[in-house]
Structure 1
Amino acid sequence: MKKQLLRRMSLALSLILVTFLTGSLIRQPKEVQANVNYSPFTKQNTNNMNEKLVQANTNFGFKLFSQIFAKSADRNIFVSPASVAIALQMTYNGASGSTQQAMAQTLQLQGMSLAEINQSQLALMESLTKIDPKVRLDIANSLWLKQGFPFLPEFLQTTEKYYQAKATNLDFNNPNSVKIINDWVSQNTNSKIPTIIDSIDRSAVLFLINAIYFKGNWQKEFSKSATQEKPFTLLNGTRKQHPLMSQRGEYRYYENPQFQAVNLPYGSGRLSMFVFLPKPNVKLTDFNSNLTAENWQQWMKQFSSRDGEIVLPRFKLEYDITLNEALQALGMGVVFQNQANFSNMTPRDVQIDEVKHKTFVEVNEEGTEAAAVTSVGVRTTSIPIREEPPFKMVVDRPFFCAIRDNQTGTILFMGSIVDPK
């Protein structure tokens, strides 16, 4: 049989965001053993290839979030579409034939050559990690290879050149290998995600890991003395006391019949958290049904400077999810099957076994701490300031938020918070 020597590839993505995320692993079947100041909303230093990749990542990010939300609308969700995209784009370099086509469709990469994707991703990563002296954003990639298992030199060279991923050979039979991998994850997430794996299955042959760490102080910090315990209304209508931060000032703000939205910048303003609060008569599920890449781009153009008051809950959460089901629903099912073709990665037959994603996020008066990677290319324009009365936005019920690089349009993190416990 052609698939006699089938190996299974399991991807575990690890990122950090006001959350964190980590890597991916490859397995073979058990029955076969293997031998500066920045003006926000002004795009700078981007090219068409970067914009295409950012747009692809944006489209993929919202489609992925929609799939996750459909299964978990009643719980907190916080993901890094950027981190997932980076890890899968590294893996994409090893795919061929119908497997490569399926991944391209899911990742929204149609019309881009592999060279364009890799060059654009390198340029994007370099841009993102030189963001702002007041903001820290670290992106790290690594490959952990089973000692003695054959991988094509071209695949390893490409991931090292364009994704700066160091490949390390490990004896997966040595229990210390788990600690070595987890130590790398902990180090590259500033200890926010201490582990990504508990053990290494005898069939595992590769862990492909992406980690992103983000920490930024608000451009205008919230005063701790203004934080008060106030009711936060949960999805079921129950009200619970929770610390709500508040401040007044001038913000970039947008409102329509469905929601209020505010842009809270970090540091010099290149990175922002966007908070979207559905109106009292609009359910979070209804808001999410309109949460598409196309609508997002239009909304980004509508923000204008306006005086007002923002009341925002402190929140801290950990989130983890296995993304196999969501990726299969988006058209990537073949990569999890025996028919998978990763012949540009290894001469052996392999398939993806698992894609894991972990995040951590904390938002408080000083700012946000998190981890992940993302790219979204949207040209945003300012709207002239109009004389309007001050707004008041009290985020005391479930809401959506995203952390965005305003220069490239990349969305680093996104999530829906239904309980800020």
Structure 2
Amino acid sequence: MDKPRTTMKSLLSVCLLTVGLCAISHGHHINGHDNTSVAATKIYTNTAQFGLNMLHQISSASPGKNVFFSPLIISSALSVLSMGARSTTHTQILEGLTFNLTEIQEKEIHDGFHNLFSVLTNPTNKVKLDIGQALFVKDDQKPLQTFLDAVHASYEADVLSAKFQEPTEAEKQINEYVEKKTHGKIPQLVKGLDRDTAIVIVNYIFFKGNWEKPFDPEMTREGDFKVDDKTTVKVPMMQRMGWFHYYFDRELFCTVVRMQYNGTATSFFILPDAGKINELEKAISLDVLSKWAERVHRGTAHVHLPKFNISASHDLKGPLTNLGIADMFSDRADLTGITGQALKVSKVTHKAVLTIDERGTEAAAATAVEAIPMSLPPTIMFNEPFLMLIYDQVTNSTLFMGKIVNPTES
């Protein structure tokens, strides 16, 4: 009698990691760039929409917790996986990523990611950005050459052999690879690998930027941060009085501050009115993001922003299943385009580290000095839970999204 399919499926793990090391500021959307292909400009709205969908899902699954992730990296990892997916599994992955194949060809999706990564990792960019992929394959498995060729052509992924039958050894190999690629910021990504694991897909992004206009460390003072109605914590609060780009959104009861890094990366910090964080999360959309980008204006302000270092780990199986990407986790999975054999995804994990300080992640040469009007500017104090996102202005790529609930939780 044939064995049940559950015993015939080898396991495939997708490990996504993000390191964001930040200090942040003003910028605006730029539609198109000499180095950005038509395909790249066709996928950035999908990455942003997928990011918003994930923000809703992860936040709902982790109430009261910090949320921080990279929509770009999660999207690209699943796109790599889609190259080996077939039938309904294939359709679910691409539709879950918000792609409509009647409007964009699948080749354009992969070409788009390839071009985005080329532009984002250009060494002339003043922001340090490393992006990469790797496939760790069980030493007795043989991926199809067509899959390897496709993945290498579009994503330039490393393909490495691993002894998953010895989980401790395989974990050590993967974690050492990840630690090196993230410059020591993530020393342990995987833990508890299953002996039946056949392939682990690792995607990583390391982001390192300096503020265009840094904060003065001597002005940082301890302040209160109200986590919720019952909890208040002490945090080092950076502050700077000067020129910022900001917008008071009276419709959504929030304040938006845009800050710029040296280079092409920019950030939005969104502070809801007291008790309005849940309403804001439900209301945020691509149209809202576009509105904020258009309406932020240059003015003087006294901005207070917590200095913090957080690490957020997310199990994405539930969120992805809720977005319709379900079959790949079940015995209905069709990933036969990877090895020609039956595979299913055992887990999708994402780990992100975010550091925000006065100068960025590298010391700035000098503190900016600005002339400001004599009139008293408004004070914008991020002393309650807030949302944030970081994107690249040239490609319009959403690099990171997050919700900071408690900046003291590491």
Q: Is the 8 A contact 1:284 1:399 kept in 2?
A: yes
Matches within 5 A, 1:10-409: 10-18=13-21, 40-43=28-31, 44-45=33-34, 46-111=36-101, 112-130=104-122, 133-174=125-166, 175-257=168-250, 258-268=253-263, 270-280=264-274, 282-367=275-360, 390-409=377-396
User: In the TM superposition, what is the alpha-carbon distance from 1:131 to its structure 2 partner?
Assistant: 6.9
User: In the TM superposition, what is the alpha-carbon distance from 1:238 to its structure 2 partner?
Assistant: 3.3
3-state SS of the aligned residue for 2:11?
coil
User: In the TM superposition, what is the alpha-carbon distance from 1:170 to its structure 2 partner?
Assistant: 2.3
Q: Is the 8 A contact 1:9 1:352 kept in 2?
A: yes
User: In the TM superposition, what is the alpha-carbon distance from 1:6 to its structure 2 partner?
Assistant: 2.5
Matched residues in 2 for 1:308 and 1:326: separation? 38
Matched residues in 1 for 2:124 and 2:391: separation? 14
Q: TM-score, normalised by structure 1?
A: 0.86
Q: Which segment is superposed worse, 140-149 or 248-257?
A: 248-257
Matched residues in 2 for 1:88 and 1:304: separation? 37
Q: Is the 8 A contact 1:221 1:365 kept in 2?
A: yes
Q: Is the 8 A contact 2:30 2:396 kept in 1?
A: no
User: In the TM superposition, what is the alpha-carbon distance from 1:200 to its structure 2 partner?
Assistant: 3.5
Aligned-CA RMSD value = 2.1
Matched residues in 1 for 2:249 and 2:287: separation? 16
Q: What letter is aligned with 2:354?
A: V
Matched residues in 1 for 2:105 and 2:198: separation? 28
TM-aligned CA distance change 1:265 to 1:417, over 3 Å:
same
Matched residues in 2 for 1:277 and 1:158: separation? 43
Q: Is the 8 A contact 1:232 1:240 kept in 2?
A: yes
User: In the TM superposition, what is the alpha-carbon distance from 1:40 to its structure 2 partner?
Assistant: 4.8
Runs of 4+ in 1 over 6 A off after TM superposition: none
Q: What letter is aligned with 1:275?
A: F
Deviations 1:171-227 (A, max 9, x none): 323443322211110011111110112343210110100011011110011001111
Query: What is the aligned-residue identity percentage?
Result: 27
Deviations 1:306-340 (A, max 9, x none): 22221101111111111000000000111111111
Instruction: Give 5+ residue unaligned stretches, structure 1.
Output: 20-37, 370-387
Aligned length: 383
Please name the residue that 2:368 is paired with: none
Q: TM-score, normalised by structure 2?
A: 0.88
Matched residues in 1 for 2:405 and 2:231: separation? 12
Q: Is the 8 A contact 1:93 1:114 kept in 2?
A: no
User: In the TM superposition, what is the alpha-carbon distance from 1:297 to its structure 2 partner?
Assistant: 2.3
Instruction: Give 5+ residue unaligned stretches, structure 2.
Output: 363-374
Please name the residue that 1:31 is paired with: none
Q: 1:6 aligns with which of 5, 9, 24?
A: 9
3-state SS of the aligned residue for 2:172?
helix
Matched residues in 2 for 1:39 and 1:204: separation? 44
Matched residues in 2 for 1:70 and 1:222: separation? 33
Matched residues in 2 for 1:398 and 1:348: separation? 47
Matched residues in 1 for 2:123 and 2:376: separation? 34
User: In the TM superposition, what is the alpha-carbon distance from 1:287 to its structure 2 partner?
Assistant: 0.9
